[in-house]
Each structure stands twice: as structure tokens, then as C-alpha cells.
Structure 1
């Protein structure tokens, strides 16, 4: 990696948790300069403006979250175990895998009416997550783990929405009691559709 690319990556890695915690609008280039100890001139050599850096930070946060999730899903052997591992991975929003919480939720709520580029990135991440869940459910049906009347795409939508909603409720209330209900409900739903 060239020196310029290393510096660019360093800035993204330092900026990503700040954007995820404070939001795009509330994060200033001064915040990033303080975290990186780089000058304004050095920052603007690598990023045209804050919006360009914010988009790179969104991509980085989603990439890190995805890598951590994939690591958690690589251990279970069955589709049912993978779905349980997915649920467990997101089961404690107060100790989120990323600083600041779920980037999909954070950036999605901020960008839905204000930033079409970030909105598209978040929508792609949601679609990818639903495809992953749907694929796991489909594999479970093929392998004889789940009932054939389970609708993988519908199940993936419900599971994703419940976990994201639980994440929001937990972060707002400062406790995981609602997420515990959601985790139990989702696992019961998976058990009810298991053979």
C-alpha cells in the first residue's frame, strides 16, 4: 500500500467510529483532525470534503460489521445454528460490535431524508443482510432442517426488522429488556419452523 493510501485508510479508520457515534451532521472535520492529529491541509489532500469522508466512513463501518458477523457465522454447522448465531451477534446493543452502535440504524435514520448517497449505501447493506438471512433459511429448508412452508424472504424481513427495532429500543432505553423479548421470540419462531 502506498503512503498516500495508508494515510487515507488511517483517516477513514479514525473517522468511522466518530461518524457512527456522533452522526454525519454533528461530526466536524475538526473532530477528525483531533483524532488523526493531521492538519486540515493533509485531510483535504485525501478527501475533497466531509461528505466524501463520511461516505468512506459508512462503507468502512459496514465492512467491519460484516466481517465480524461473518466470523460469528462461520462457526455454526447448521442453518438453525447460524440463525441463532446471527441473533446472538446482535442481542446486546448496549455492547455493540462497533463503537456507536449499529451503523445501518445510525446512518439510516440520519440519511433517509438528507443524504441520498448514504441512504443508498444503507439500503444496499439492508438488502445484503436480508439476502444472507434468506439464504441461510433456504439452505435450512433444502437440508431438511426447516419446514418447506417457511418463506425465507419474509422470514428474513421480519428477523432483520425485529433486531434493528430492538437495537433502537435498547439504545434509547439504556437496557436490553426489549431485545431479550425479541431474541426469545425469534428463536421460538425458528424452533416452530424446525423439523
Structure 2
């Protein structure tokens, strides 16, 4: 891989960690230069603006989390198990999240809400992609007979994602993974009471 491409990837990876921990607004170009050891001129050789770095950084962070989810999905045979994967990858979110700083989607959505349209649109794409993945799993469960045929697929996907993101937020804020654990247990109980055939 050419040196320039390695430098670009390093800037993206380090900036992704920075933005996911300190936020876009809380991170300066000076923070990026300090973290990467690359001077501003070197940064601008690869990126036109902080916005461009942020978009690439959030894509990178989402990709890391997406790969962790995909690897866990491949180990599950049931639709219920696959939906629970989204929470399980964050069950130790306080000490060992799948990406440093917690959930990139949650962090980006919270920070960009109404304040930064470009980043908000990136967060919306992440939201749509995650919900679509969950809906596909639920539909698979309906078609296989695991889930009830009259299940509201959209509603279950939204509920699952809300429980996941809420658990992440509360666990991180309180510094205690028990909230994520309780949410997983509650979701399992809901699946058994309402969704399974």
C-alpha cells in the first residue's frame, strides 16, 4: 500500500476514535494533528476539511462495529439470537465497547441532531442501514415460522434498536453494564411473550 494511502487511513482511524470520544464539536484540527503526529499541511494534503475527515471517520467507526456484529451474526442460527447480537456486542460497553467511545451511531446522532446537517444525514444513513438489517432478520424469522406471521416487522426493529441504544446510553452514563444486561433480559422476555410462535 502506498505511503500516502497509509497516512490517509491513519488519519481516518485516529480521528474516528477522537470524534467518538470527544465528539465532532469537541475535537479540533489541532487534536487530530497531535493524535496522528501529522502537521496541518499533511492533513490538508489528504482532506479538504474537518467535515470530510468526520464523514470518513464515522464510516470507519461504523464499519468496525458492523464487522463485529456480522461476525457474531454468523454464529447465530435463530432470528431471535441474531437480533440479540446487536445488544450482545455492547454488553460490556463501559469497559470494552466494539469501538472506543461507545456506539458511533448513537454518538453521531446525538451530536448532529439539528446542528450539523451533513453529519446528521450520515447518522440517518446509519440508522436506516441498521433498521433494514434488523427488519431482514425479523422477516427471515417470520418466514421460517420462528416468529408469528402477524408480527409488525417495522415496530419490532425500532423497539430492538431503541432498547439497544437506550441500554448503551444509560450504561455509559452510569458507568455500569447492568443496564445493558437488564435490557437484554427484558427483550428476551418480550420475544418469548409476544413474538415467538
What TM-score range do you get, normalising by the shorter chain?
over 0.9
- Tell me the alpha carbon deviations over residues 10-49 of structure 1, each in whole angstroms, 9 at most, x when there is no partner: 2101111011101111111121112211111111111112
- Distance in 2 (alpha carbons) for counterparts of 1:80 and 1:25: 38
| Residue number in structure 2 paired with 1:93 | 93
| Residue number in structure 1 paired with 2:79 | 79
- Distance in 2 (alpha carbons) for counterparts of 1:190 and 1:44: 50
| Residue number in structure 2 paired with 1:108 | 109
Aligned counterparts, 1:1-195, within 5 A: 1-94=1-94, 95-192=96-193, 193-195=195-197
- Distance in 2 (alpha carbons) for counterparts of 1:128 and 1:176: 26
- Distance in 2 (alpha carbons) for counterparts of 1:172 and 1:179: 12
Question: SS state of the match for residue 93, structure 1?
Answer: coil
- Distance in 2 (alpha carbons) for counterparts of 1:186 and 1:8: 41
Per the normalisation by structure 2, the TM-score is: 0.93
Which ranges in structure 2 are unaligned for 5 or more consecutive residues? none
- Distance in 1 (alpha carbons) for counterparts of 2:53 and 2:4: 15
- Distance in 2 (alpha carbons) for counterparts of 1:80 and 1:9: 36
Q: How many residues align?
A: 195
- Tell me the alpha carbon deviations over residues 63-117 of structure 1, each in whole angstroms, 9 at most, x when there is no partner: 1111111111111122222123233123232131110111111111111121111
- Distance in 1 (alpha carbons) for counterparts of 2:114 and 2:3: 37
- Distance in 2 (alpha carbons) for counterparts of 1:81 and 1:169: 23
Which ranges in structure 1 are unaligned for 5 or more consecutive residues? none
